[in-house]
Amino acid sequence: MKNNPFDMQGKEMGWCPGCGNYKLLDAVKGALHELGIDHKNLVIVSGIGQGAKAPQYVNAHMFNGLHGRALPVALGVKLSNRNLVVIAESGDGCMYGEGGNHFMHAVRRNYDITVIVHDNMVYGLTKGQASPTSRMGMKTSLQVNGVMLEPFNPIAVSLALDAPFVARASVGDTEKTKEIIKQAISFKGFSVVDIFQPCVVFNKMNTYQWFKENTYYLPDDYDPANRKFAFEKAIETEKLPLGIIYCRDGRELYEDLLGITHIPAYEHEVSEEAFEKMLGEYR
């Protein structure tokens, strides 16, 4: 798409040629533009990793924080100015490994952000060790006998904690990925999109071809409002489902539970009346 306000001109990219991150970046920027979001009203929070560099290449507000810590930062941003559109974007190691505890509790809170996970099933930036989503048997410099553990299942975990919007996409199809991201961002509440992408340097197992052969799109008549069906889909291992796996409106937002208004925190003033009243309790 031309004239995308989210494009950054003349930026040197830190990704390898052929990396799935490029397609994911295009899908995110395309989704944002098509949704008509004002780039001055968008904050992308990320952690550390190759995927976490994404907001470096987007013309929007950015908090590129620490490995694993994107979600608590995003929480602080959202609760301090709920008028902002907030996206937390990082890799599988950052979100599900180092940030696993934050991920669980972020889902529980249900604040209105979109979580985009670059899931390439490997640690890229640290040079090829297993990630929480690495498939069993994958040999690496560290997993010398192959990965021994079952992969972390972000879809099932999200569903178990009642995330109201859970989806999975694959960068093999940028157009469909963009459509899923659009729905996730439009959704009011905590939306998780786990996005498959290859790591062309360190993951020789999960290639474009592998993702094509091992995934399928959910049929049009699939009902994403049914949590039980969603669970069934989440634990499928033969072929991994793509699309909106679960979507339920109506779960109350953490912002609303806390009674947060639309006045940004930087405009607040201390109520002198309340202050006097408080002192009075101690007279």
Stretch near another protein under the rule CB under 8 A, chosen from 65-73, 180-188, 195-203, 214-222: 65-73
Encoded one letter per residue, x for contact with another protein by CB under 8 A and - for no contact, window 85-124 reads: ----------------xx-xx-------------------
Q: Which of 41, 186, 207, 226 binds another protein (CB under 8 A)?
A: 41
Least CB distance to another protein at residue 91 (A):
15
Side-chain-facing half-sphere of 280: CA atoms under 13 Å: 6
Stretch near another protein under the rule CB under 8 A, chosen from 62-70, 127-135, 216-224, 245-253: 62-70
Q: Does 201 bind another protein (CB under 8 A)?
A: no
Stretch near another protein under the rule CB under 8 A, chosen from 64-72, 175-183, 203-211, 236-244: 64-72
Q: Which of 83, 144, 148, 219 binds another protein (CB under 8 A)?
A: 83
72 in Cβ contact with 128 (< 8 Å): no
Give the Cα separation of 82 and 76 in Å (integer): 10
Q: Which of 75, 115, 138, 169 binds another protein (CB under 8 A)?
A: 75
Q: What is the DSSP letter of 61?
A: E
Q: Does 48 bind another protein (CB under 8 A)?
A: yes
Among the listed residues 98, 250, 228, 112, the one whose alpha carbon sits nearest the alpha carbon of residue 160: 228
Stretch near another protein under the rule CB under 8 A, chosen from 50-58, 130-138, 230-238, 239-247: 50-58
Residue 220: what residue type? D
Q: Does 248 bind another protein (CB under 8 A)?
A: no
- How many other β-carbons are positioned within 10 Å of the β-carbon of residue 126? 15
Residue 71: what residue type? L
Give the footprint of another protein on residues 125-184 (CB under 8 A): none
Q: Which of 4, 34, 63, 251 binds another protein (CB under 8 A)?
A: 63
HEC string of 87-105 equals EEEEEHHHHHHHCHHHHHH
Among the listed residues 181, 172, 158, 166, the one whose alpha carbon sits nearest the alpha carbon of residue 222: 166
Q: In the chain, count of helices (H) and strands (E)?
A: 10, 8
Q: Cα 18–24–26 angle (5° rounding)? A: 95
Distance of CA 70 to the CA centre of its chain: 10
Contact residues: another protein, CB under 8 A = 11, 14, 39-41, 43, 45, 48, 53, 55-56, 59-66, 69, 71-77, 79-81, 83-84, 101-102, 104-105, 258-261, 264-266, 268-271, 274-275, 277-279, 282-283
